[in-house]
Structure 1
Amino acid sequence: MSEPFVGEIRQFPYSFAPHNFAYCAGQLMPIQQNTALFSLLGVNYGGNGTSNFGLPNLQGRAMMHQGDGPGLTPRVVGEAEGAATVSLIQTEMPVHSHLMTVKAAGATKVTGSGSGSYLSISLLPTNAQQPAYNNTTTGLVPLASTMLGMAGGGGAHENRQPFLVIPFCIALFGMFPSRN
């Protein structure tokens, strides 16, 4: 591994931060022991700027470049956006129920059972090795609306991209990047 630039962020597949790196987990660092890194990051990620400064917090986040472009909103260094879950408002997803129907198949009445019918999917053998499902709509019975419960109503839902957990680490020491 080549010597990193101070403040360079890399991903490592280890359960620890390598030597001279720290996790990007938003922790506060003392300025006195990390003057080069503080001169690059400042207080963009937290801290008071007199005795400490914050490292970026990339836990559960995706990185995005600063700046803007045609049709895009501007982004600044250290800005955190998004949410792991989102609650929908009433106009987006009003409270509602789902209707479910099932096929009621006749059966020989068993002592103590109700009407002598049971819920089923009828199998019609097309050949000995692969039965076919009877998908006709005859004999469908609606279940009570209380069987499935209510949906919507401001409940939160998952909002994250698919992900693979590999921690981000920032170089505490190394070559100081030149400004061209």
Structure 2
Amino acid sequence: MSTTLPGPDGLERCRWCAGAPGFLDYHDREWGFPVDDDRRLFEKLCLESFQSGLSWRTILAKRENFRAAFAGFEFHRMARFTESDVARLLDDTGIVRHRGKIEAVIHNAACAQELVQREGSLAAYFWRHEPTADALGVPQTASTSAASVQLSKDLKRRGWKFVGPTTVFAFMQAMGLINDHAERCVVRAQAEKARLRFKRPG
């Protein structure tokens, strides 16, 4: 099966972006473009943690609700969440109400604070794990990589939760640490151009 299909403009795009309303815009404007903003990086890792065992369709549809519920994913604020916040979140029908995941991302907010103190920024830390070009395989043929396994292990060593290799690989795809757009996808060249212009932090 082809990894691409024609979009509304007739140009080839990654096949998955036709899977749900909102996917096309997310694919064309966000997925695979490099990010160096700590809040956005933390948000994405949290959302990928919530996606574990679910579909991205579910998470993307609830993204604005997640942002409202989790203080815009400002991790310095989230790190101060208490058990009453957990109870509030468990009662919020607009998000995924999974106690383990809710408690994990709050815990990870404190881990993010510690990481920033040690590394300077989340961006500097994550981009140090960008794989080299020769380490990448054929786009969209894997759900983990050597780089995602290594990053997952290091995050867990630092105390982070719900950051397995598959979750981390999806995070790296989305945040532009790799360009995993299909070879024939019209956005692949755009994402690569953005990666070439991108000033790596740290």
Is TM (by shorter chain) over 0.5? no
Q: Which has the higher contact order (CA 8 A, sep 6+)?
A: 1
Q: Taking structure 2 as the reference length, what is the TM-score of the superposition?
A: 0.18
Name the one with the larger strand percent: 1
Which of these two proteins has the greater Rg computed from alpha carbons? 1
Q: Taking structure 1 as the reference length, what is the TM-score of the superposition?
A: 0.20
